[in-house]
Structure 1
Amino acid sequence: MTNLSRARLIAILAPTFLLGGALVSQYVFGLHPCEMCMWQRWPHLGAIVLALIAIVLRGNPSASKLFAALAALAILGSGVTGFFHAGVEYGWWQGLTACSTVPVGGSTDDVLASIMNTPLTRCDVAPWSLFGISLAGYNGLLSLAAALAIFALLSKAKKA
């Protein structure tokens, strides 16, 4: 397996597992995401799309390498957001001061009922942690490691 192939593999697997873990924690374990949690999910979704493009373009090493690098940047973006969110949870700096989950559509009564039934999830409180590291912290660590691994493999990949 070439370094470019390894980079593409990490570029597709890392965000898929991290986003999948976030969705499992939400829908299976009931850990509802706050706004900053959602901010971490979008770059992973983008990274998955970019990695898929890199895989489709594997016959064109230059283009494939470019899209794998873009996927790594998206993963890194999620990781940076995760570190920022973890810092808010640990009280190292100020984060968001308001929640912004607002349902749209339906009658006034439907919107009001939706607001009243929506769980309030604060960005400055970690709903779960392991060894003192929150989910946001793990996303930061794992995303940073994945992005660095992709960049390292791409730097070692044969010139196209």
Structure 2
Amino acid sequence: MTARRLALLAGAGSAGLLIAALGFQAAGYAPCELCILQRWPHVAAVVVAGLVWLTGRVRALAMLGMVAAGAAAGLALYHVGVEQAWWAGPSHCSGGVGDVARMSLQDLTERLNAAPVVRCDEIAWSLLGLSMAGWNALCSAVLASLWGLAATRAR
């Protein structure tokens, strides 16, 4: 397969992951903050693939695509770690509201009311033992490899 086709395939993979995420959202699985954050690198990868398609320049653009897919994989792995309680997630989406002992009742009420409904540390859906974040990490790593292969073949 040519470098250009590999890059376009990787970009299509990111587009597919975005469509799947939006499909889950349409099906009633509201995304948490980390879920939404994981989407942005895929948007960047789709834009990079579009630039490959428009310009035909593969090598430098494929490196950018690899960075974007790698960032998506890294964010997804971080999210998996939060879900599995391997490390703490952002306090504002993992149920933390700060030092409750030092807050007034009014401050605590405001923090609780401002807290997001969807928690980052709870798994909403899984398949074969992997959460959506886990599947995103796996797929994003494969896509980063495709981008890397495209960059290598473009030399």
Common topology (TM > 0.5): yes
Report deviation, 1:99. Answer: 3.5
| Contact in 1 for aligned 2:59/2:150 (Cα 8 Å) | no
| Contact in 2 for aligned 1:79/1:143 (Cα 8 Å) | yes
| Contact in 2 for aligned 1:54/1:66 (Cα 8 Å) | no
Q: Provide structure 2 residue ranges, at least 5 long, that are not aligned to the other structure.
A: 95-112
Between the two proteins, what is the percent identity of the paired residues?
Answer: 35
The 2-side partners of 1:68 and 1:137 are apart by 24
Equivalenced residue count is 136
The 1-side partners of 2:23 and 2:29 are apart by 9
Which residue does the alignment assign to 1:146?
143
Which residue does the alignment assign to 1:4?
3
Which residue does the alignment assign to 2:130?
133
Instruction: Work out whether 1:70 is the aligned partner of 2:68.
Output: no
Which residue does the alignment assign to 1:57?
55
Report deviation, 1:92. Answer: 1.0
Report deviation, 1:42. Answer: 0.7
User: Cα deviations across residues 109-130 of structure 1 (Å, max 9, x unaligned)?
Assistant: xxxxxxx8x9710000010001
| Contact in 2 for aligned 1:85/1:123 (Cα 8 Å) | yes
TM-score w.r.t. the length of structure 1 is 0.78
User: Cα deviations across residues 27-48 of structure 1 (Å, max 9, x unaligned)?
Assistant: 1x11111110011001111111
Which residue does the alignment assign to 1:35?
33
User: Cα deviations across residues 65-88 of structure 1 (Å, max 9, x unaligned)?
Assistant: 211221121111111100110111
User: Cα deviations across residues 1-45 of structure 1 (Å, max 9, x unaligned)?
Assistant: x43123222232111001110000001x11111110011001111
Which residue does the alignment assign to 2:104?
none
Match for 1:43: what amino acid?
P
TM-score w.r.t. the length of structure 2 is 0.80
CA RMSD in angstroms, aligned pairs only:
2.0
Q: Which runs of 4+ in 1 moved over 2 A?
A: none
> Secondary structure of 2:118's match?
coil
The 1-side partners of 2:82 and 2:149 are apart by 30
Q: Provide structure 1 residue ranges, at least 5 long, that are not aligned to the other structure.
A: 101-115
Which residue does the alignment assign to 1:23?
22
Find 1:120's aligned residue among 117, 122, 125.
117
The 2-side partners of 1:158 and 1:53 are apart by 15
The 2-side partners of 1:68 and 1:158 are apart by 9
